[in-house]
Amino acid sequence: MKVEFYLAEVVSIENTYEYNKSGDNKNDNNLFSVTVKIISDTPWLATVRPANPNIKQIPVIGEQLLIFPGGKETQVGSRNSSKQWYYFPAYSIESSIHENSHPGLAITSINDFSGVPDSINDRPMGNTFEDKTISPLQPFEGDVLVEGRWGNSIRLGSSISNDVASEDFYTLNPTWKSTNENRGDPIIILSNKRNNKPGHNEFVIEDIKKDGASLYLTSTQNFPNFTLSKPLGNYGSKSESEYNSPQLIGSADRIILQAKKDIIALDAKTRVTINTPELKIGDESACEAMVHGDVLMSILMDILNVISAGSIGTAGITTLPLDKGALSNAFKQLQYLNSSKYFIKRDS
């Protein structure tokens, strides 16, 4: 069976971003579709759908696509109207992850303006699309990179040989480190909002401290520039910047975790450290101060010792507590006041 492939330019996104609401089935069967003009000696307009229904990279006006027909009947009133057309993602004509629009190619090559807006050279790439300079990620050998148009990305990467990195084989070295014995160990990085460079073809690299929000799933990597507001020190023999066993690190200006129907559980083998200068429990209006256990222990011990000693009456007679059993029990219970496992920092 002969399969037809054509190059086409996106000329309209009129029915791409909302489904039909009028009930006339105008767009119900063409969700996510765009209108293209085929780059050919015998041009025509076609409505094309994404080739992959599960992963969509919807193009902007002026981007070029590779399209091919399928077998389902459609109402496209043009050539091969009995076939539905599908498109692959826009090809990298501008070598940009943000946009690869090159408007007018279909028109200037065939000198046919039918069905295309008059302001072809000045028209925007869409109704809300903002043209920005977005820098692509530095790739490393073997990486799988998923990059959005706006500086958001997923890297399925690995540890890079320190020897290769130091020889400037890459434009930028990774911000994560690992020993040469562990090169090739996996790492997943989800990153959103980075500092872009002036050119759209200048590489950037994820930075756990500088990126807007990020999530790291590691295996044997560590992050030399990763520091906390208050260092953990060398708990467990390695600090937060040196730790090189599997870990999950999330970093953002604000982090909110919400459990809609059940609990949030923090489960740690050895310790949970809440590393913050201020802690509120209940809600933001909480104003009751937490008690320092050692200070309270000292105060209560002094009080009990005074009570135990009794008092001297007018005739020099010492008056002892009436309920010696209760006093003795208070001394015994006092030893359980302070926990041996849960601690708070004393205010300075």
- Show me where the domains of the chain are located: 1-131, 144-252, 278-348
Provide the residue type at 335 as one letter: Q
Q: Please indicate whether residue 126 or residue 217 has the higher confidence score (pLDDT).
A: 217
Q: Indicate whether this model's pTM tops 0.85.
A: no
The CA–CA distances, whole Å, from 223 to 156, 226, 232, 235, 270 equal 17, 5, 14, 16, 22
Strands 45-50 and 85-87: parallel
Please compute the mean of the pLDDT values over residues 197-208 and round it to a whole number. 89
- Under the banding of pLDDT at 50, 70 and 90, the label for residue 78 is very low
Length of the chain: 348
- Under the banding of pLDDT at 50, 70 and 90, the label for residue 137 is very high
Handedness of CA 207, 208, 213, 218 (dihedral sign): positive
pLDDT of residue 214 exceeding 60: yes
The radius of gyration of the chain's CA atoms, rounded to the nearest angstrom, is 34
Work out the number of other CB atoms within 10 angstroms of the CB of residue 302: 10
* pLDDT score at 145: 97
Please compute the mean of the pLDDT values over residues 131-141 and round it to a whole number. 93
pLDDT of residue 75 exceeding 50: no
pLDDT of residue 185 exceeding 60: yes
* pLDDT score at 7: 93
Residues 6 or more apart whose CB falls under 8 angstroms from that of 101 comprise: 60, 61, 62, 63, 94, 125
The CA–CA distances, whole Å, from 245 to 176, 207, 241 equal 13, 19, 11
Distance CA 160, CA 141 (A): 8
Residue that is written with structure tokens 């943000």 in the block: 98
Residue that is written with structure tokens 């919400």 in the block: 258
* pLDDT score at 77: 43
Q: Please indicate whether residue 186 or residue 42 has the higher confidence score (pLDDT).
A: 186
* pLDDT score at 74: 43
Please compute the mean of the pLDDT values over residues 215-220 and round it to a whole number. 97
pLDDT in tens, 218-245: 999 999 989 898 888 766 668 889 999 9
Q: Which two tokens stand for residue 33?
A: 């579709």
